[in-house]
Amino acid sequence: MSYLKLESVGTIVDKDAICYPMYKDGTPDLDNPCFINDCENDEWWEKMSIDDALMLFPYLTKTPIYHLQGYFQWAVIKFGLVEEANNEYVDTAGLFGNGGVA
Protein backbone atom coordinates (compact mmCIF):
# COMPACT_ATOMS: atom_id res chain seq x y z
CA MET A 1 0.00 0.00 0.00
CA SER A 2 1.46 3.34 -1.07
CA TYR A 3 0.44 5.95 1.45
CA LEU A 4 1.19 9.20 3.27
CA LYS A 5 1.01 9.51 7.06
CA LEU A 6 -0.42 12.75 8.42
CA GLU A 7 0.68 12.55 12.04
CA SER A 8 -0.95 15.81 13.11
CA VAL A 9 -4.44 14.55 12.31
CA GLY A 10 -3.85 10.83 12.87
CA THR A 11 -4.68 9.93 9.29
CA ILE A 12 -3.20 7.86 6.48
CA VAL A 13 -3.95 8.81 2.87
CA ASP A 14 -3.52 6.15 0.19
CA LYS A 15 -2.66 6.43 -3.53
CA ASP A 16 -6.37 6.79 -4.37
CA ALA A 17 -6.87 9.77 -2.00
CA ILE A 18 -8.72 7.59 0.51
CA CYS A 19 -8.17 8.55 4.16
CA TYR A 20 -8.02 6.08 7.02
CA PRO A 21 -7.82 6.80 10.73
CA MET A 22 -4.40 5.83 12.06
CA TYR A 23 -4.02 3.49 15.01
CA LYS A 24 -1.50 4.41 17.73
CA ASP A 25 0.93 1.90 16.21
CA GLY A 26 0.86 3.84 12.92
CA THR A 27 -1.20 1.35 10.93
CA PRO A 28 -4.40 2.31 9.08
CA ASP A 29 -7.89 1.40 10.26
CA LEU A 30 -8.97 -0.11 6.95
CA ASP A 31 -12.56 -0.54 8.19
CA ASN A 32 -13.18 3.24 8.14
CA PRO A 33 -12.19 4.68 4.74
CA CYS A 34 -13.19 8.18 3.65
CA PHE A 35 -12.45 9.84 0.32
CA ILE A 36 -10.47 12.99 1.13
CA ASN A 37 -12.95 15.11 -0.81
CA ASP A 38 -15.56 14.03 1.73
CA CYS A 39 -13.50 15.32 4.68
CA GLU A 40 -15.58 18.45 5.00
CA ASN A 41 -15.04 18.77 8.74
CA ASP A 42 -13.15 22.07 9.06
CA GLU A 43 -11.89 20.98 12.48
CA TRP A 44 -9.90 18.16 10.85
CA TRP A 45 -8.26 20.59 8.43
CA GLU A 46 -7.64 23.14 11.18
CA LYS A 47 -5.79 20.55 13.29
CA MET A 48 -3.47 19.67 10.41
CA SER A 49 0.08 20.99 10.71
CA ILE A 50 1.57 23.12 7.95
CA ASP A 51 4.25 20.45 7.48
CA ASP A 52 1.62 17.77 6.90
CA ALA A 53 -0.29 20.03 4.48
CA LEU A 54 2.91 20.76 2.56
CA MET A 55 3.32 17.00 2.09
CA LEU A 56 -0.36 16.28 1.42
CA PHE A 57 -1.18 18.60 -1.45
CA PRO A 58 1.77 17.63 -3.70
CA TYR A 59 0.94 13.97 -2.89
CA LEU A 60 -2.66 14.53 -4.01
CA THR A 61 -1.48 15.69 -7.45
CA LYS A 62 -0.50 12.05 -8.05
CA THR A 63 -3.93 10.69 -7.09
CA PRO A 64 -7.26 10.49 -8.98
CA ILE A 65 -8.65 13.47 -7.04
CA TYR A 66 -6.29 15.77 -8.94
CA HIS A 67 -8.27 15.18 -12.14
CA LEU A 68 -11.67 16.00 -10.65
CA GLN A 69 -13.37 19.19 -11.72
CA GLY A 70 -12.96 21.80 -9.00
CA TYR A 71 -9.89 20.19 -7.43
CA PHE A 72 -7.74 23.32 -7.58
CA GLN A 73 -10.35 25.54 -5.93
CA TRP A 74 -11.04 22.89 -3.26
CA ALA A 75 -7.31 22.50 -2.53
CA VAL A 76 -6.76 26.25 -2.18
CA ILE A 77 -9.68 26.54 0.25
CA LYS A 78 -8.57 23.58 2.38
CA PHE A 79 -4.95 24.73 2.46
CA GLY A 80 -6.19 28.16 3.52
CA LEU A 81 -7.94 26.59 6.51
CA VAL A 82 -4.66 24.95 7.54
CA GLU A 83 -2.70 28.19 7.13
CA GLU A 84 -5.19 30.25 9.10
CA ALA A 85 -5.46 27.72 11.94
CA ASN A 86 -1.67 27.55 12.24
CA ASN A 87 -1.26 31.31 11.74
CA GLU A 88 1.49 30.41 9.29
CA TYR A 89 1.39 31.41 5.65
CA VAL A 90 3.60 29.97 2.93
CA ASP A 91 4.29 30.50 -0.77
CA THR A 92 2.00 28.02 -2.50
CA ALA A 93 3.46 28.37 -6.01
CA GLY A 94 3.34 24.91 -7.55
CA LEU A 95 1.91 23.31 -4.42
CA PHE A 96 -1.35 22.29 -6.07
CA GLY A 97 0.09 21.01 -9.35
CA ASN A 98 -0.36 22.52 -12.80
CA GLY A 99 -3.85 23.84 -12.04
CA GLY A 100 -2.47 27.28 -11.29
CA VAL A 101 -0.90 29.25 -8.54
CA ALA A 102 -2.86 30.25 -5.46
Q: Which pLDDT tens digit goes with each residue over 53-91? A: 999 999 999 999 999 999 999 999 999 999 999 999 998
Domain membership flag for residue 92: no
Domain membership flag for residue 99: no
Residue 60 backbone dihedrals phi, psi, to 5 degrees:
-65, -25
Nearest to 102 by CA among 63, 72, 66, 58: 72
The number of domains in the chain is 1
Domain membership flag for residue 82: yes
Q: Which pLDDT tens digit goes with each residue over 41-50? A: 899 999 999 9
SS (H, E, C) 5-49: EEHHHCEEEECCCEEEEECCCCCECCCCCEEHHHCCCHHHHHHCC
Q: Rounded to whole angstroms, how far apart are CA atoms 44 and 7?
A: 12
Domain membership flag for residue 96: no
Q: Rounded to whole angstroms, how far apart are CA atoms 31 and 1?
A: 15
Entry pTM: 0.89
Domain membership flag for residue 38: yes
- Structural domain for 19, as ranges: 3-86
